Amino acid sequence: MPTGVIPEIRQEIALIGQQTRDLATRYEQVFVNLRQALQAALAQAAGAAQRARIAMTIADAAASAISENFPNQPLRACAAGCGACCHLYVMVPPGVAEAVAAHVLRRLDAKGLAGLRLDLERAAAAAGALTDPSRLKHRCPLLGDDNLCTVYDARPPACRAFTSHSAAACRSLAFDPEGPVTAIPQSASHFRVYQEATGALQRAARAGGQPSAQTGLAAALLVALPEQA
């Protein structure tokens, strides 16, 4: 049995193994650097809403870089008008509701704001009625009649983070409580970027002596929005 080439193969495997470990270390450093960049940028922001906008801008840029440069990215079935994920419970870190509220107030008149507040109250009540709000399936009050997000440019980190390889799986999760789908696998790198943004906003709030916990989007928006336009 020929064995002369085995040492060469073992050496090559060992080399590739070391390169893989080095690459994994560099990969982790990407997120360390992202965390530091977020912290530095948020420290210069004037107020919670601006912090949220800055965090999402930085996270979007990082997520785009990953999508453009990392090989073997998961295929996405996400498309405008799908809207299934817009029936899932969304939590927001500090500042996001204020940023969304500012976006809303630029486009709604008094009647529109009153209608939105009613929808938000229903959504918040539905979440509050559950022991585990994460199980809530309720149409987002910010989803338009055309099934498009009305605050897309200001949407929360959780919405930006969520992706899916199967629209059918999303529909099953959102609309078929007895169906087999209980979770949607996420693109790890993409999702982690927005986790970093969320954590950065929480840490910034904590550093400023403000509440840092995430809250439900509907409940948070009811606080951030005025009762009248």
Contact between 106 and 60 under an 8 Å Cβ cutoff? The reply is: no
Report how far residue 156's alpha carbon sits from residue 178's, in angstroms, rounded to the nearest whole number.
Answer: 28
Q: What percentage of the chain reaches a pLDDT higher than 90?
A: 92
* pLDDT per residue as tens digits for the range 108-150: 999 999 999 999 999 999 999 999 999 999 999 999 999 999 9
Q: Average pLDDT of 164-193?
A: 96
- CA end-to-end span of the chain: 84
Q: What are the backbone dihedrals phi and psi of residue 177, each rounded to the nearest 5 degrees, phi first?
A: -60, -20
User: Which residues share a beta bridge with 137?
Assistant: 88
Give the pTM: 0.92
- The confidence score (pLDDT) of residue 148 equals 97
- The confidence score (pLDDT) of residue 21 equals 96
* pLDDT per residue as tens digits for the range 44-95: 999 999 999 999 999 999 999 999 999 988 889 999 999 999 999 999 999 9
Contact between 44 and 88 under an 8 Å Cβ cutoff? The reply is: no
Locate the domains of the chain by residue range. 6-224
Report how far residue 149's alpha carbon sits from residue 153's, in angstroms, rounded to the nearest whole number.
Answer: 9
User: Which residues share a beta bridge with 215?
Assistant: 92
* pLDDT per residue as tens digits for the range 90-111: 999 999 999 999 999 999 999 9
Report how far residue 211's alpha carbon sits from residue 82's, in angstroms, rounded to the nearest whole number.
Answer: 34
